[in-house]
Amino acid sequence: MSMLESAAAPVARGKIEWLPVAIFAVLALAPIACAYGAETYWLGLFTSVMVFAIAAIAVDLLCGFGGLVTFGHAAFVGIGAYAVAIFGAEGITDMAITLPAALAVSAIFAYLTGTICLRTKNVYFIMITLAFGQMAYFVAGSLAPYGGDDGISVKTRSTLFGYAIFDNDRAFYYCVFAFLLASYLLCRALIGSRFGRVFRGARDNPTRMATIGFDVFRYQRVAYVIAGCLGGLAGFLLANATEFVSPAYMSWQRSGELIIMVLFGGLGTLHGAILGAASYILLESVLGGVTENWKLIFGPMLVLIVLFARGGLIGLFGAIKRKLSHD
């Protein structure tokens, strides 16, 4: 089996998987269930789940399929969020302007930093992405006209050609759902394409891929830019969801949380990133109501998942399914 055929195998074997369909079905029907409880709270919570799921999918694209462990991806989330806040402060709220601007700035930042980062490998790649992420964090903190370290409130959610479509929580929820579904399908199509096979082949054996004629650096940089744009999209939606933006969105801790979400759900699965984001956000909400030191409980849970459920929650579900089939 050739390198490209080997890289394509996981996608080629995939038929219509029930788990991604179930995940999106639950998210699509969640507002109906929320209507029977504290609707505003639960809609906000599930909206946050989907926003961070978009960012987690971007991280999974790089880490799970490209072997590029980034510790600075929160910078793109912050860039997208600040695009909304800065344009809003200047009186521009139309997403026909703010969204392309958020994606464009994220793409430019990803292209410039990726050109440097991708010339390094392994721990050096991790450290240089962390350095660029912290650089963005301190730049955001120095923006005194836009709140500086204290952050800035988003007075008005984004509009579309003058229509305040984001003002209705349920309408905003389904807009975020549509963006999440589009992001997932885009990355899934990308991974299943010839580009994706080369990208994954470069993860397994970059020297061999280069030898057979592929420009590994160029493929990785394109993937890095795409992941950066998805991070910017998540930031754009996050600013509208929280109606507040601060440099904390770009901190290395936030980048670490995105990696934890991916690991918790299942590295290299895409839908595992969604499941991991949902698990992390919901557990934070539940455990946070028990104790402010909820991470002391979550930490051992993550360790147990890593030790005994290889592949995260997706791997755990697969092991249970195999066990039941065997029995």
Written as one string, the DSSP assignment of 157-180 is --BBTTB-TTSSHHHHHHHHHHHH
Tokens of 58: 């971007």
What's the pLDDT at 227? Answer: 96
Query: How far is the C-alpha of 129 from the C-alpha of 69, rounded, in Å?
Result: 9
Residue 121: count of CB within 10 angstroms of its CB: 11
Q: pLDDT tens-digit profile of 200-241?
A: 999 888 888 888 889 999 999 999 999 999 999 999 999 999
Q: What is the pLDDT of residue 9?
A: 40
pTM: 0.90
Extract the tokens encoding 90: 């200047």
- Among 239, 233, 77, 86, smallest CA distance to 157 is for 239
For residue 250, the model assigns a pLDDT of 92
Beta bridge mates, 245: 152
Q: In the prediction, which pLDDT does 287 show? A: 84
The strand pair at 152-153 and 244-245 is best described as antiparallel
C-alpha of 153 from chain center: 23
Q: What is the pLDDT of residue 47?
A: 92
Question: Maximum distance among all alpha carbons in the chain?
Answer: 64
Angle (nearest 5°) at CA 292 between 291 and 293: 85
pLDDT of residue 327: 61
**Spans of the chain below 70 pLDDT:** 1-16, 37, 309, 327
Q: What is the pLDDT of residues 82-136, one digit of tens each?
A: 999 999 888 888 999 999 999 999 999 999 999 999 999 889 999 999 999 999 9
Catalogue the E-assigned strands of 155-274: 244-245
Q: Letter for the amino acid at 314?
A: I
